[in-house]
């Protein structure tokens, strides 16, 4: 079973291999493992890990609760700050956030396994269907949320908690945003993204309307006319182009589409992949696409990044993961031209690059890499319609510290605003904080001042 | 190579590590294994009088408390003395002693507080070739309800009486094992000495309820829905044992009375501390029950290596060395001034020293310096209490540094007085004032 044929084919592996390859990357710690891991936490004061967490989860407290046999209380500590703590435990680059700040690094170069402990506690609570939040008295206020991704869900949950009614407008078929469509399969197995959506929505007072897209089915003005407040959390819909000849050839694919297709595929064997794959980019998306191409049975997968290792957005942990799966990462190479044969991709011509006077330039030296399939993973762009006169900053929505946009009663957060890193956890923090800001406004019954003129 | 040979009231053993009277020494099988592993001696599990032996519960006998990584810190038991027939034990003891003539074999005994009972059992024990006897006046559960064990150990007059019987009816050395479940350990020790004991051994286990099952609301270990207090032992009791050993060692009335130190000895270091406080040897139980008999190898090599490093040739070089330095609080030098010092290279910035000092002590450790997370002792606030040293997770990161006489104590604004001065002469002491008047 399986095939090593050149070209883009499905079913490259034997059926059992798919199951192994796409199983949980870091399975949940069992009770004993969790106790051992939790024992290592020093319960630091004003803990650096907590400061490093974009959602400011009280990490020493939740770990102490695990160590005293109270995973449910631990989960509540996590959810109090981050209702999507379950997914963040799976996808956060902890090695550059909480775990990088862990004082155990100083002592012995090995941090407390904060991410896995967070997963343990949240998994226990979600498996036991423990819910911690009830809605406050109904306020009669209604808030529209655009996008059911991490920012929108976090915002909606906090608003519902405060007694407001929420309607989420989601363009895609399912809620979850990048948690559902943009995360590598092995990081969120067993339909976790949807289970988490259900868990968040269980608070009540949140209606999700799928298949409704801003700019196509409604405008921002429609929302401001019909709701007391609006939160925009629709993420990034566009993908950067390579700017290389042959980009439109069959076999040149957006990495985000490939990742989404794989996530949605019930049978991973049904997703076709090239024998030789080249991924252009240096971020998490590039790594996720490259690793999964390899796991689908691609024989040779190469990431080409136009700068050095130290410039890659993908964390060292992710780079190591890719290397361990057999992905080759090459640096200082930029795409010049997609090479075609019989109307299909046959390879890519690349040019070496270097930094000259602080600028990245091609050296003129070129070479070719054979490829049946090329994934573009060079960043996503903000792309939206129906926003009216909403002010932008750096090609994304301009907001103030509380998430207020230039339009009265309209807030925004997540990847569609330019603030912080494009991380799930950052989006959750922004959605949550915007909800608090909206709540303050609604509670005061006052008109907010326009933040961005 | 340090000489670890031990001579305790004439009982010789190749090293000072004995197994205490307890489950590990209940039968020949275990004791043979212990001697093979290297233990210097054993105190055989307590013998009772002839006739039907005691019975133990058939449910759990032990409870425990744990530290990080489930390291056992304290063990509690409700087991009684041996539940095997007296003669079975005696025959095995005789055989084991023949097999291991160089090791110490002591018989622990607990019979009713009647002269005839002791008079009857002592010749039987003597016939085994045992090197000595240990009188179990400590067992705090079960046996004490029957007027034995701690019930005797808590009444100095009974101790003296029974010891006297034993000295009268046997030529074997008598070691009197003391219970810590009293208010002043010197009283039973003095009584044992008055009765003519050759030595005391302490501590036996401490009355304890180790934990409560929060589902059944019953103490652990729970036997059929009920629990009872048991005897507490293990690393957690070591400080209590050390103090009691020191109290006897420095009591003028018992000064020089040989002591076998017991209570939480887990490593060579623990043993060395007992020896330094006046113990002639140590007895171990919980550590063996936790890790097996092999741990004695670490104890032997650790003690020997330390003695070599420090130039101590034999056990006499270290026994009792710390006793002169144990004093009453009132004699501590109030002019000695120390300040905590944080080694910034070793500091991992956990902040525990800061919050311990800030919340619960003297607000003498910074959290930020120039806006940067930085923990540093403010000498003008530091009283030298040592709490930060104790809560710091990194060994030797925080140390106490004594101020040289004449240097300025920033807290008081006064130079350090080079003279010794204690509470007895302090102006705030009403007794001192009266004496002056």
CB contact under 8 A, A103 and B354: no
User: Above pLDDT 90, what percent of chain A?
Assistant: 89
Q: What is the mean pLDDT of residues A335-362?
A: 95
Assign B391 a pLDDT band (cuts: 50, 70, 90): very high
- Residues A359-371 pLDDT 10s: 999 999 999 999 9
B393 in reach of chain A (CB within 8 A): yes
Between CA B62 and CA B72 the distance in angstroms is 12
pLDDT of residue B435: 57
Chain A residues in contact with B350 by the CB 8 A cut-off are 42, 44-45, 47, 103
Band of residue A26 on the pLDDT scale cut at 50, 70, 90 = confident
Q: What is the pLDDT of residue A290?
A: 97
Mean pLDDT of A252-270: 95
CA distance B349 to chain A (A): 6
Burial label for B246, CB within 10 Å (0-12, 13-18, 19+), is buried
> Which chain B residues are within 8 Å of A35, Cβ to Cβ?
70
- Please name the residue of chain A whose CA is at the shortest distance from the CA of residue B354: A45
CB contacts, 8 Å: B70 with chain A? 35
Among chain B residues, the shortest Cα distance to A44 is held by: B350
Percent of chain B with pLDDT over 70: 99
Locate the chain A residue with the closest alpha carbon to B357: A45
| Residue in A36, A45, A104 closest to B355 by CB | A45
Cα gap B279→A115, rounded to integer Å? 50
Cβ within 8 Å, pair A45-B69: no
pLDDT, average across residues B139-166: 90
Q: How far is A67 from chain B (nearest CA, A)?
A: 9
Residues A281-331 have pLDDT tens digits of 999 999 999 999 999 999 999 999 999 999 999 988 999 999 999 999 999
* 8 Å CB contact of A46 and B70: no
What is the model's pLDDT at position A452? 55
Segment A269-276 mean pLDDT: 95
For A103, the closest chain B residue by CA position comes to B348
For the segment B331-380, what is each residue's pLDDT rounded down to a tens digit?
999 999 999 999 999 999 999 999 999 999 999 999 999 999 999 999 99
B332-342 pLDDT, tens digit each: 999 999 999 99
User: A57 to chain B nearest CA, in Å?
Assistant: 17
Q: Tell me the pLDDT tens digit for each residue of A383-413.
A: 989 999 999 998 999 999 999 999 999 999 9
- Identify the pLDDT of residue A450: 54
Could you tell me which chain B residue has the CA closest to the CA of A105?
B348
Tokens 């019909």, located at residue: A226
- Report the alpha-carbon distance of residue B143 to residue B47 in Å, rounded: 12
Q: Is A197 exposed, middle or buried (0-12, 13-18, 19+ CB in 10 A)?
A: buried
Q: What whole-number distance in Å separates Cα of residue A281 and Cα of residue A67?
A: 41
pLDDT digits (tens, 9 = 90+) for B264-282: 999 999 999 999 999 999 9
Instruction: Provide the shortest C-alpha distance from residue A35 to chain B (in Å).
Output: 8
Residues of B in contact with A102 (CB under 8 A): none
CB contact under 8 A, A44 and B350: yes
pTM confidence score: 0.91
Buried b / exposed e over A96-105, threshold 16 CB at 10 Å, is bbbbebbbbe
Instruction: Count chain A–chain B contacts defined by CB atoms under 8 A.
Output: 35
Q: How confident is the model at residue A104 (pLDDT cuts 50, 70, 90)?
A: very high
CB B77 within 8 A of CB B26: no
Contacts of B348 in chain A (CB under 8 A): 103-104, 106-107
pLDDT, residue A289, reads 96
Interface test with A, best of B65, B69, B347, B351 (most A CBs within 10 A): B351
Give the distance from CA A212 to its chain's centroid: 21
The C-alpha atoms of residue A268 and residue A15 are separated, in whole angstroms, by 9
Q: Please state, rounded to an integer, the average pLDDT across all residues of chain A.
A: 94
Enter the ipTM: 0.87
pLDDT band of residue A250 (cuts 50, 70, 90) is: very high
The answer to whether the CB atoms of B354 and A45 lie below 8 A apart is yes
């Amino acid at each position: 079973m399986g095939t090593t044929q050149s070209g883009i084919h499905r079913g490259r592996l034997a059926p059992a291999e798919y199951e192994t390859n796409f199983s949980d990357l870091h399975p949940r710690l069992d009770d004993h493992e969790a106790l051992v891991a939790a024992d290592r936490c020093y319960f630091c004061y004003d803990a650096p890990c907590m400061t490093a967490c974009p959602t400011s989860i009280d990490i020493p407290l939740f770990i102490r609760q695990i160590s005293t046999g109270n995973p449910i209380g631990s989960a509540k500590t996590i959810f109090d700050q981050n209702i999507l703590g379950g997914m963040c435990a799976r996808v956060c680059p902890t090695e550059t956030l909480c775990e990088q700040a862990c004082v155990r690094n100083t002592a012995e170069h090995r941090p407390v396994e904060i991410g896995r402990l967070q997963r343990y506690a949240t998994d226990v609570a979600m498996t036991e269907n423990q819910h911690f939040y009830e809605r406050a008295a109904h306020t009669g206020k209604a808030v529209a949320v655009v996008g059911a991704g991490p920012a929108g869900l976090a915002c909606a949950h906090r608003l519902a908690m405060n007694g407001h009614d929420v309607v989420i407008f989601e363009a895609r078929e399912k809620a979850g945003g990048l948690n559902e469509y943009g995360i590598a399969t092995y990081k969120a197995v067993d339909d976790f993204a949807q289970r988490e959506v259900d868990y968040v929505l269980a608070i009540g007072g949140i209606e999700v309307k799928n298949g409704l897209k801003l700019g196509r089915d409604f405008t921002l003005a429609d929302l401001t006319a019909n709701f007391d407040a609006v939160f925009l959390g629709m993420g990034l819909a566009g993908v950067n182009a390579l700017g290389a000849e042959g980009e439109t050839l069959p076999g040149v694919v957006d990495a985000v589409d490939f990742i989404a297709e794989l996530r949605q595929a019930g049978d991973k064997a049904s997703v076709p992949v090239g024998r030789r794959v080249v991924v252009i980019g240096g971020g998490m998306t590039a790594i996720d696409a490259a690793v999964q191409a390899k796991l689908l049975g691609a024989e040779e997968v190469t990431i080409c990044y136009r700068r050095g290792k130290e410039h890659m957005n993908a964390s060292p942990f992710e780079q190591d993961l890719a290397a361990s799966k057999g992905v080759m990462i090459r640096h200082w190479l930029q795409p010049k031209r997609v090479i075609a044969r019989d109307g299909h991709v046959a390879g890519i011509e690349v040019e070496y690059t270097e930094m000259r006077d602080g600028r990245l330039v091609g050296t003129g030296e070129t070479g070719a890499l054979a490829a049946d399939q090329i994934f573009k993973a060079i960043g996503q762009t903000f792309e939206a319609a129906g926003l009216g006169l909403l002010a932008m900053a750096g090609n994304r929505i301009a907001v103030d510290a509380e998430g207020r946009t230039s339009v009265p009663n309209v807030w925004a957060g997540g990847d569609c605003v330019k603030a912080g890193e494009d991380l799930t956890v950052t989006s959750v923090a922004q959605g949550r904080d915007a909800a608090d800001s909206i709540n303050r406004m609604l509670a005061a019954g006052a008109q907010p001042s326009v933040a961005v003129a | 190579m340090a000489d670890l040979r031990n001579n305790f009231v004439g009982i010789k053993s190749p090293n000072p590590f004995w197994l205490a009277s307890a489950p590990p020494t209940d039968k020949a099988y275990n004791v043979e294994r212990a001697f093979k592993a290297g233990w210097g001696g054993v105190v055989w599990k307590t013998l009772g009088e002839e006739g039907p032996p005691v019975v133990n519960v058939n449910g759990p006998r032990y409870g425990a408390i744990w530290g990080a990584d489930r390291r056992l810190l304290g063990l509690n038991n409700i087991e009684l003395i041996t539940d095997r027939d007296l003669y079975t034990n005696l025959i095995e003891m005789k055989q084991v002693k023949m097999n291991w003539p160089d090791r110490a074999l002591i018989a622990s005994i607990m019979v009713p507080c009647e002269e005839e009972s002791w008079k009857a059992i002592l010749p039987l024990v003597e016939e085994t070739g045992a090197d000595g006897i240990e009188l179990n006046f400590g067992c705090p559960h079960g046996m004490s309800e029957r007027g034995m064990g701690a019930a005797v150990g808590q009444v100095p007059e009974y101790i003296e009486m029974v010891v006297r019987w034993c000295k009268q009816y046997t030529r074997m050395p008598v070691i009197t094992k003391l219970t810590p479940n009293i208010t002043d350990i010197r009283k039973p020790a003095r009584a044992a000495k008055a009765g003519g004991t050759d030595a005391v051994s302490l501590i036996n286990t401490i009355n304890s309820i180790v934990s409560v099952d929060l589902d059944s609301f019953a103490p652990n270990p729970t036997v059929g829905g009920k629990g009872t207090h048991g005897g507490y032992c293990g690393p957690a009791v070591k400080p209590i044992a050390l103090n009691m050993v020191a109290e006897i060692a420095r009591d003028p009335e018992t000064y020089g009375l040989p002591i076998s130190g017991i209570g939480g000895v887990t490593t060579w270091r623990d043993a060395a501390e007992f020896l330094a406080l006046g113990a002639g040897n140590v007895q171990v139980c919980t550590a063996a029950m936790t890790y097996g008999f092999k741990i004695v190898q670490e104890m032997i090599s650790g003690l020997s290596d330390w003695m070599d490093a420090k130039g101590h040739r034999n056990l006499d070089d270290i026994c009792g060395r710390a006793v002169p330095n144990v004093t009453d609080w009132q004699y501590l030098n109030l002019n000695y001034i120390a300040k905590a010092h944080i080694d910034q290279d070793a500091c991992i910035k956990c902040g525990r020293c800061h919050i311990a000092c800030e919340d619960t002590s003297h607000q003498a450790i910074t959290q930020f310096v120039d806006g940067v997370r930085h923990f540093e002792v403010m000498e003008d606030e530091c009283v030298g209490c040592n709490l930060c040293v104790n809560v710091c997770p990194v060994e030797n990161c925080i140390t106490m540094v004594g101020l040289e006489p004449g240097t300025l104590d920033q807290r008081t604004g006064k130079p350090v007085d080079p003279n010794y001065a204690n509470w007895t002469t302090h102006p705030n002491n009403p007794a001192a004032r009266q004496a002056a008047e």
